[in-house]
Amino acid sequence: MPELIRVEHLVKTYYLGEMQVPALKGVDLTIQTGEFVAIMGASGSGKSTFMNILGCLDRPTQGHYYVEGVDISGLSKDQLAQIRNKKIGFVFQSFNLLSRTSALENVELPLFYNGSSARERRQRALDALANVGLQGREHHFPSQLSGGQQQRVAIARSLVNRPSLILADEPTGNLDTRTSLEIMGIFQKLNKGAQITIILVTHEPDIAKYAERHVAFRDGKIIQDTRIKPFQAAEDLARMPATEDEAHP
């Protein structure tokens, strides 16, 4: 499988006045296209900093970061914005949808910044929403949707530009167990079906077990990098006893 991401000796240091705070102290990692990686670690371990750099939201102090062979470290802010737009989809713990904006328009948002036509925007957004099982909810506002549905809108938004990589930062942190399983099921389906690389940041082993590769951070370094046979979220969901949650709109 081709290499999608390679980081070499990545260092990130924050400067708080006179004080230097090292967040990453030399990280090397390679991720192939189609992998489903869970990045784990306690808070302060440097995993958030690492995610920000992977997501092209931040630049490393030292070291190199290659996406599909292109060195990101030297790009300008505008070029980073374009990489984010074309190659990376974000899913956040708090969904980060625009309020008072319909699901459809939320999903269209990334297309708005790459010059797609109105017709194309609409069609691709509808497809992406259908892909996460939200047909019929296109014109709902986030406030009219449940947490799981909001997260699915966010996933549709991350998918709409057909990215090579989805970065999910604690995507189930605000969701109950059943909904979490549904979301993980969607990720697994996208990963297996569409061969989209997924990098998941989580501190819950129960969520990480659906990823096939676990990378653990501590004190700004990778301390563990293992591959496992992942659990299947769809199967686990089927085994769960039916509850009133089924009545979710």
Partner 1 sequence: MNLPMTFRIAYKALGRNKMRSGLTMLGIIIGVGAVIAMIAIGSGAKARIQEQIASMGSNLLIVLSGSATSGGMRFGSGSVPTLTVEDSKAIAAECSAVKYSAPVLQGVTQVVNGNQNWSTVTFASTPEALLIRDWPVVRGRTVIQSDVEGAAKVCLLGQTVVENLFGDVDPVGQVVRIKQFPFTVIGVLSVKGQTTWGQDQDDVVYVPLTTGQRLLFGQQFPGMVRAISVQATGPDVMNLAEEQIIQLLRQRHRIRANQENDFSVRNLTEAMSAAEESARVMSLLLGAIASISLLVGGIGIMNIMLVSVTERTREIGIRMAVGARGRDILYQFLIEALVLSLIGGVIGIFLGVGASQLIARVFKWPTLISFHALLLSFSFAGGVGVFFGFYPARKAANLDPIEALRYE
Cβ proximity to partner 1, 113 vs 123, nearer residue:
113
Q: Which of 55, 60, 220, 230 binds partner 1 (CB under 8 A)?
A: 55
* x-or-dash string of contact with partner 1, 78-117, rule CB under 8 A: x--xx-xxx---x-x---xxx-xx-------xx-xxxx--
In the complex, minimum distance from the CB of residue 231 to partner 1, in angstroms, rounded to a whole number: 29
**Site membership for partner 1, residue 58 (CB under 8 A):** yes
The interface with partner 1 within residues 210-249 (CB under 8 A) comprises none
**Site membership for partner 1, residue 143 (CB under 8 A):** no
Q: Which of 157, 178, 209, 213 binds partner 1 (CB under 8 A)?
A: 157
SS (H, E, C) the chain: CCEEEEEEEEEEEEEECCEEEEEEEEEEEEEECCCEEEEECCCCCCHHHHHHHHCCCCCCCEEEEEECCEECCCCCHHHHHHHHHHHEEEECCCCCCCCCCCHHHHHHHHHHCCCCCHHHHHHHHHHHHHHCCCCCCCCCCHHHCCHHHHHHHHHHHHHCCCCCEEEEECCCCCCCHHHHHHHHHHHHHHHHHCCCEEEEECCCHHHHCCCCEEEEEECCEEEEEEECCCCCHHHHHHHCCCCHHHHCC
**Binding residues vs partner 1 (CB under 8 A):** 52, 55, 57-58, 77-78, 81-82, 84-86, 90, 92, 96-98, 100-101, 109-110, 112-115, 118, 157, 161
